[in-house]
Structure 1
């Protein structure tokens, strides 16, 4: 069987699905069916025709079968990820993505020896890893059995497929994380433009307020950095603080009241409450 034209056809079909099927879950399911179909064709060809040599068998299980198999695993991972992805809660979404990333990194750590063998281009164990006659010599250690068959599997062909799939899934998850961050920045910018709020007091007044909020630990339970708070104030209130560290140093060196703005705030609020009590 000539495997290359079939591989080329699969890759063409997968690219067309990427363009023509905008829904991620539907596209994943369609891609899974394409991969299953080709693997079934490959299996039948291998069972019927066999291989001319050990070298041809290694080439098939190492270079050809792993293409549809890795795509099958990759799109299965995407489908399950998108189905389980939390809706609405951004903190839960970030945690969910990080959990999946941790799972992939754990997979890499558990198979460092095989990873080094593949990435270094070594071939001395290829006969043991990528021919069927050694299948009983290795324990089956896959986290998921996607397409395991005694007549159509070797000790390591599906493990190599998992590596290829997780390499792609890692990129997918990282892009998902970046997309969420971009969306938050765009939404924040749009909100700021709509609010059109402007700080009309001076730099010292805003600096007093920022430092008071920070050191009283009222934002993120005190875990927010002073720079983050200052940046948020400047962005939302369309005001340039300049060197607020220097401004705070000048506030500390005042001879009379070092918290004049905060005291004026408290006094103004108290006066308002007193007047409305009458």
Structure 2
């Protein structure tokens, strides 16, 4: 069982290593990982129905160390999915407030389970037979009512708590990195504002041309991996180039009806090709 489990965990961690936790597709990615990990745990549960641990020490090791490692990854991605799908839309400050509340929830769980945290982190083994052997749980030690809804062949009650501790630690790192990224964005934004006040960059062509370029970029799927609305990108271009792009949809309708639908993009291709030809001559 030990070698089989180590192989499973290694494969899972290889999958996780390929994930960009801060990518724009994290919601879809985390949901996919939830399904994968659920299937893996279900298969492991089925195997355990007919498996007998050679010694109680091996059973304790499985429920204290091995199963929680796998379950913690499921809890981690489930939490990410919930956090990201419920994350408010707004300023970075609003998002930071939301993330800090999630960090407070981790502290709340820690405070409620302080005794077990101390037991687990100190590598104590005194109550291992009560905590990590099936059918040995002492109700006087476990006041968590969820114990009664666990599969007695696949859980001791406390393997879940260990998994929760591990997942919370992963989540703490994840949330703090998100806060750091938001702080970096604010810093870069302030730097850009400082530079832009000294050297203003403006789009001096026709407004319709910038709208055509904006629609082309959004349609390409190369902005935020395609996860952006045209309104959001037009507002971004308006701010970036200090130009009012209001009425962009009417301009788009007019663009569709004209004979040369992509006149500005064609002009860009022509001018770039001309520049390249001139550079070759030099």
TM bracket, shorter-chain basis: 0.5 to 0.7
CA 95–17 in structure 1, closer or farther in 2 if over 3 Å, else same: closer
Unaligned runs of 5+ in 2: 200-282
Q: 1:88 aligns with which of 87, 90, 101?
A: 90
Q: CA deviation at 1:14?
A: 2.0
Aligned to 2:126: 124
| 1:74 aligned onto 2:56 | no
Maintained 8 Å contact 2:150/2:157: no
Maintained 8 Å contact 1:134/1:155: no
Q: CA deviation at 1:64?
A: 1.1
Aligned to 2:100: 98
Unaligned runs of 5+ in 1: 198-278
Partner SS for 2:50: helix
Once residues 17 and 182 of structure 1 are traced to their aligned partners in structure 2, the CA distance between those partners, rounded to angstroms, is 22
Maintained 8 Å contact 2:31/2:77: yes
| 1:139 aligned onto 2:143 | yes
Aligned to 2:193: 191
Once residues 195 and 63 of structure 1 are traced to their aligned partners in structure 2, the CA distance between those partners, rounded to angstroms, is 57
Root mean square deviation of aligned Cα: 2.1
Q: CA deviation at 1:16?
A: 2.6
Once residues 126 and 157 of structure 1 are traced to their aligned partners in structure 2, the CA distance between those partners, rounded to angstroms, is 11
Which structure's CA Rg is the greater one? 1
Maintained 8 Å contact 1:67/1:161: yes
Q: 1:162 aligns with which of 161, 164, 187?
A: 164
CA-to-aligned-CA distance 1:238-274 (integer Å, 9 cap, x gap): xxxxxxxxxxxxxxxxxxxxxxxxxxxxxxxxxxxxx
Once residues 97 and 116 of structure 1 are traced to their aligned partners in structure 2, the CA distance between those partners, rounded to angstroms, is 26
| 1:53 aligned onto 2:55 | yes
TM-score with structure 2 setting the length: 0.64
CA-to-aligned-CA distance 1:213-243 (integer Å, 9 cap, x gap): xxxxxxxxxxxxxxxxxxxxxxxxxxxxxxx
Q: CA deviation at 1:187?
A: 0.6
Once residues 18 and 90 of structure 1 are traced to their aligned partners in structure 2, the CA distance between those partners, rounded to angstroms, is 20
Aligned to 1:114: 116
Once residues 18 and 187 of structure 1 are traced to their aligned partners in structure 2, the CA distance between those partners, rounded to angstroms, is 23
Partner SS for 2:101: helix
TM-score with structure 1 setting the length: 0.65
Maintained 8 Å contact 1:17/1:31: no
CA 94–164 in structure 1, closer or farther in 2 if over 3 Å, else same: same
CA-to-aligned-CA distance 1:11-47 (integer Å, 9 cap, x gap): 112223448x861111111221221122112111111
Q: In the TM superposition, what are the counterparts of 1:1-278 in structure 2 within 5 Å?
A: 1=1, 2-18=4-20, 23-135=25-137, 137=139, 138-141=142-145, 148-196=150-198
